[in-house]
Amino acid sequence: MSNEPNHLPWGAERLWEQLQPLLPGISVEVVARADSTNTQLIDRARAYSGRLDQPVTLPGTLDARSRDDERSPHGRRTGDTQPCLLVAEQQTRGRGRHGRHWQSSAGASLTFSLSLPLAPRDWSGLSLAVGVALAEALDGPAAAPGPRLGLKWPNDLWLMDGPGQGRKLGGVLIETVMVGPRRMAIVGCGLNVLPQSLRELTTGYACLQEREPEITAPAALQRVAVPLAQALLTFEREGFAAFADRFAERDLLRGQPITTTLPELPQGVADGVAADGALRVRVGDGPDAPLHLVSSGDVSVRLR
């Protein structure tokens, strides 16, 4: 636990007590400012591996050549893979997919990363599973009345305004890096908590206070931290299959016309996700229209 000066009552000790049984050895750290919590934890993992140039990959694009030895080049044992929850009240260089900047300001945003060793049989669909855990923790069951949180494939949380309509509430960025013989997953989350004026957003802006006027960033963290850890452990054991039905209940794109950045698939209609979390896109009309599968990778998908 960290005693660095910060301005909000984060309840780090309580978080540690809740997370320790799930992730033994975890540390909970809160800092007033950081460039990027993902970057901070990746740098630590690289230092622990003894290789500061250790490749960083996205789940599903693992580099088989990035395996490490049991010992570092400096002769010490590698493998410090103790979990860490790192929270920054403000991120100055927060990152999203494709290197996009994630807006963050103290009190108005919740930005944190959770690092832990993870060894699922298949990494496919991990960002969708994380989205399910966050949405359910913040919104309750999908059948609950009133506005609810939807999930936009592959890694965004939206506040639903209607079928296929909504505004971006948050996002997830998952990266991995080898530490000795184990792979560390760094799960970064950014959530809008208070109203802000961000005109440059093309997806609209939504915040948690639209649903709960009294909620704060620390309260949101207390709500999502344990469900996120539980979801990651479940994913490690069971893969995306444990989350597929729950994702389908919140799938923002399903049945909606979309565009993609793939030259061979500029547009189509989203038709849910496959067993491995790939986006299903139909091109043309009717049930016999050709079906294409889109993996997350470097593709972007937008509602049309």
pLDDT by 10s per residue, the chain, length 304: 544 445 789 999 999 999 999 999 999 999 999 999 999 999 999 998 878 888 888 886 665 444 444 444 433 344 578 999 999 999 987 665 545 555 567 789 999 999 999 999 999 999 999 999 999 999 866 655 656 899 999 999 999 988 778 999 999 999 999 998 899 999 999 999 998 865 555 678 999 999 899 999 999 999 999 999 999 999 999 999 999 999 999 999 999 999 888 888 889 999 999 999 999 999 987 777 888 999 876 677 888 7
In the chain, ranges of CATH 3.30.930.10 domains = 12-249
Predicted pLDDT at 65: 46
3-state SS, residue 294 = strand
Predicted pLDDT at 100: 57
CATH of 12-249, one of 3.30.930.10, 3.60.15.10, 3.20.20.70, 3.40.50.1110: 3.30.930.10
CATH fold for the domain made of 257-303:
SH3 type barrels. (2.30.30)
Classify residue 227 by burial, with Cβ atoms within 10 Å: 0-12, 13-18, 19+: middle
Closest by Cα among 39, 38, 13 to 26: 13
Classify residue 235 by burial, with Cβ atoms within 10 Å: 0-12, 13-18, 19+: buried
In the chain, ranges of CATH 2.30.30 domains = 257-303
Predicted pLDDT at 72: 42
Distance CA 281, CA 286 (A): 13
User: Any idea what DSSP says for residue 106?
Assistant: T
177 token code pair: 């890096």
Predicted pLDDT at 102: 57
Alpha helices in 100-251 (DSSP H): 126-139, 217-238, 244-249
C-alpha count within 13 angstroms, C-beta hemisphere, residue 113: 29
Distance CA 192, CA 96 (A): 14
The residue with tokens 């139909």 is 282
The residue with tokens 């990266």 is 175
Residue 102 · residue 95 · CB < 8 Å? yes
4 token code pair: 């660095």
3-state SS, residue 188 = strand
**Residue 175 bridge partners (DSSP):** 186
Residue 289 · residue 283 · CB < 8 Å? yes
CB within 8 A of 298, min separation 6: which ones? Answer: 98, 261
